[in-house]
Chain A
Amino acid sequence: MTDAAPATAAEDVHDLRPPRNQWWDVWDQFKTHKGAMGGMFVFISILLFVFAGPWIWQVDPGLIDIRSRNQGSSWAHPMGTDQLGRDLLARMMYGGRISVAVGLAAMLLGLVLGTLIGVLAGYFKLMDGPLMRVTDLFLALPLLPLLLILVTLFRDPLEGAFGQAAGVFTLIVVAIAITSWMQTARIVRGDVLALKEREFVLAARSIGTPARRINTRHILPNVMSPIMVSATLGIASAIITESALSFLGLGFPPDFPTWGRILYDGRDWIEQYPARVVWPGVLISLTVLSVNFIGDGLRDALDPRIRGR
């Protein structure tokens, strides 16, 4: 604690206040982690760039202006233009929106799936065996090849059902989610196994609380910390996976400029216009880096052994 006030005084103040939410302690601890704060700042800036940026930089990312193609940085086009004269800054914002949205959506879906399976396996003895076998099975699947196969398999049917944009988006999100929930499930299961023997759960059960309520009211809030940590790691790996897929030419089609796709398309031009590779690469790296730093800080902050030191 940075608070230099005498210990007794501080405790008195504490006693007078209503009990403090534990998340405030986490936040206090989190604030002391320089890397995490830096990561937070960068990540929020990137979110602002991709989601609020287009309000300020009102250029259509699809607008073709043949006369000003292949330009370098200028006031009209701060990041230059591509081979059809489309503004790269606008494309970077638009592409980032998709990349970040894929990261967030895939993380959420993977988290829900992982938590659900983890809680079910940990709480209900009957389901533990089969669910954990399934988890082991998924862990043994070669993920990247599987993802590639999933994408080639389902791209067209989904496009037909939802339209090109929504179809590919759904596919990539779902594919990433179902190949990344296993770690969360394992961690959650372990915590639930331990929690379910604790007195407060026994107490709740003894007064006849139904299983669903025990889980939502007592167990879930207590497994939030590992879930939060895997959430941040999930965003990072989802963004990398999406870019890798696009980079292999199997993710979003060329008319959906995600960062990975812009990087892939820019590879041919790397000698003349290195910026076309560097910008998306830097943005992907910064996003992942900042998210990883946040995850690090969060892990420290949520670890009661470290907290308060």
Chain B
Amino acid sequence: MKRRTALMGAVAAAALVPGMVMADERERGSSGHLNVIYWQAVSTMNPFLSGGTKEMNASSIVLEPLARFDNMGELTPWLVDEIPTLDNGGVAEDLMSITWTLTEGLLWSDGTDVTSADVVFTYEYCTHPEGGCAYRDRFAGIESVEAVDDLTIRITFEDATPNPYLPFVGAGSPIIQQAQFAECLGARAPECTDENFYPVGTGPYTVADFRPNDVIQFEANPNYRVPTQPYFQTITWAGGGDATGAARAVFQTGEMDYAWNLQLAPEVIEQMESGGMGTLLVDFGPLMERIELNFTDPSPDLPADERATMQHPHPILSDIRVREALSRAIDRELLTEIGYGPTGRPACNFIVAPPAMVSPNNDDCLVQDMDRANALLDEAGWERGSDGIRVKDGERLELLFQTSTNAVRQDFQSLIQQWWREIGVEARLRNIDAGVFFGSDPGSPDTYIKFWADVQMYASLFEGTDPTPHLEQRRCGREPRPETQWQGQNINRYCNPEYDALWAELNREPDPERRQELVIALNDMFIQDFAHIPLVARGRVSAAANTLGGLSLNVWDSEHWNQAEWYRIED
């Protein structure tokens, strides 16, 4: 935040210097050429077929949604004139439907009109049963999407929906052109290579050349709705290499103007920044690194279809005192400092963003408290054995600790293992290839969903600004189990009827302030049950050259949400 403010300050200061090109003097293409580097290269320009953040970001400057979140997390009209609400009648009183009206005179980059039919088509494209659309959940619970007239779209829901701003909102739900994609429905979607690589959009840029996993060339869209924008005429969107190389290209050699996702060791970033050519941009969204504690017994002695299911509660972790001790023994400040530096913040909550929904009640976790942890374990009846590891009823306090293979995570594992050993808990470490760990193959024993371990560490987040679906995941019955082909996101198999009741209340509540209170209450209930151990809130980290103006990092939407307004600071 601080760094970003500093940059904004620099931009503001630059704007005041006389002789500068003022904002109103700028016109389309006047800033020339922009170089962007994504060290994980973009593989397709159709976000529906990829689901990856990098594809979403790249396509967001071509394809646009009806409304998106600005850098403060506020809903902003984009292809419409106003956001439909209960007050202006856009959202039905019974919360069963929402009606959007497109801005008049919008053009696709090929010069044709944008109509409501395109919006309806987008819905059909993504919900086609054979399409494998990655953002299909955006359209869950929708009964129909219909074109009322050329500019008006009505979305009808199956149930009362207090948050109707999921479909067609944000970078994950852009509008595609019906004329272009009409032949690409369902199973044919991946075969439309030209369409997927060169989509026609409403955004400030069009794709001039696309090389998968390598480099993209963009040109300004001649039919963009703001006649003076975008300020950059062309963009080269390079891919490949690694985070270090990308950071070096912005900070030290100046080969690049903007670099995305620089997850680097704090010392490396500091050193790079001293190159002086760029600024680090950090902002915090809902992404949080955590340790999940298994409430069920993952013992390999159990039959495969009973392992880690609700039939067998965990012999050690079912005791809240053990869970609390494990959490108290962790020094989150140190973890943050070592793993993430300025790009991380110690976390004590389940919901770490947006700021208004973050609970202030759990900050005591910031202090490592070995005495308290030891006392809790003593109280729970775990006595120290001869080797320092605690024993109860002949059983050692030993936990299998798994995570994905990743240098920072292995550092965290080693550190936490050492702290837990100090309180007499033995952690056996295990790391699994990320492709397997985060995979969804129900046949694999090593996915984080199956959770055939006692504790596991990973990072998770939610889309947009509404944590309701994220909180919903921890309800009873949402746990992965054999009957559901191990689908479900209640990873730690948490089950608390009070929590479920409170969530149901949240899901019915339209009033924003009351919703905030409920989110905080749910968060506190979950955290004070020590149902999982938050570790570090991880920021989005990008780097921009000092000569780049107009940008503002956005954690709620694509980082390139206002790409049209980026410009070159002349000196």
Contacts and interface: CB of A to CB of B under 8 A. Distances in A.
Nearest 8 pairs of A and B residues by beta carbon: A254-B410, A255-B410, A268-B244, A253-B431, A254-B407, A253-B405, A64-B418, A272-B271
Interface stretch (B111-119, B212-220, B260-268, B472-480): B260-268
B268 A268 contact: yes
A179 interface: no
Nearest to A151: B433
A254 B432 CA distance: 11
Given A268-B268, A269-B268, A272-B267, 20 more contacts: A64-B414, A64-B415, A64-B418, A66-B415, A83-B411, A84-B415, A152-B435, A156-B432, A156-B436, A156-B446, A164-B429, A164-B430, A254-B406, A254-B407, A254-B410, A255-B413, A265-B407, A268-B265, A269-B267, A272-B271
Nearest to A63: B418
A43 B487 CA distance: 54
Given A64-B418, A83-B411, A155 B433 contact: yes
A155 B271 CA distance: 36
Nearest to A66: B334
A152 B264 CA distance: 25
Nearest to A85: B338
Given A268-B265, A272-B271, A255 B429 contact: yes
Contact of A84 (B244, B268, B411, B445): B411
A277 to B, nearest CB: 12
Nearest to B266: A83
Contacts of A84: 338, 411, 414-415
A62 interface: yes
Contacts of A69: 338
A70 B267 contact: yes
A152 B433 contact: yes
Contacts of B436: 156
A267 interface: yes
Interface string A43-70: 0000000000000000000101010011
A254 B433 CA distance: 11
30 contacts: A64-B415, A64-B418, A66-B338, A84-B411, A152-B433, A155-B433, A156-B432, A156-B433, A156-B436, A156-B444, A156-B446, A164-B429, A253-B405, A253-B431, A254-B406, A254-B411, A254-B431, A255-B410, A255-B414, A265-B407, A267-B244, A268-B244, A268-B265, A268-B268, A269-B265, A269-B268, A271-B268, A272-B267, A272-B268, A272-B271
A113 to B, nearest CB: 28
A160 B267 contact: no
Contacts of B243: 268
Contacts of A255: 410, 413-414, 429, 431
Given A66-B334, A66-B338, A84-B415, A271 B410 contact: no
Given A84-B338, A255-B431, A268 B418 contact: no
Contacts of A62: 414
A159 B428 CA distance: 14
Contacts of A152: 433, 435
Contacts of A155: 433
A11 B351 CA distance: 91
A293 B370 CA distance: 55
Interface in B316-374: 334, 338
Given A269-B265, A269-B267, A160 B418 contact: no
Contact of A254 (B267, B334, B405): B405
Contacts of B415: 64, 66, 84
A258 B290 CA distance: 28
Contacts of B265: 83, 268-269
B431 A160 contact: no
B338 A271 contact: no
Interface in B369-392: none
Interface string B262-305: 00110110010000000000000000000000000000000000
B195 to A, nearest CB: 32
A255 B406 CA distance: 10
Interface in A262-309: 265, 267-269, 271-272
A83 B267 CA distance: 9
Interface string A146-161: 0000001001100110
Nearest to A65: B418
Contacts of A164: 429-431
Contacts of A254: 405-407, 410-411, 431
A66 B418 CA distance: 11
A57 B111 CA distance: 74
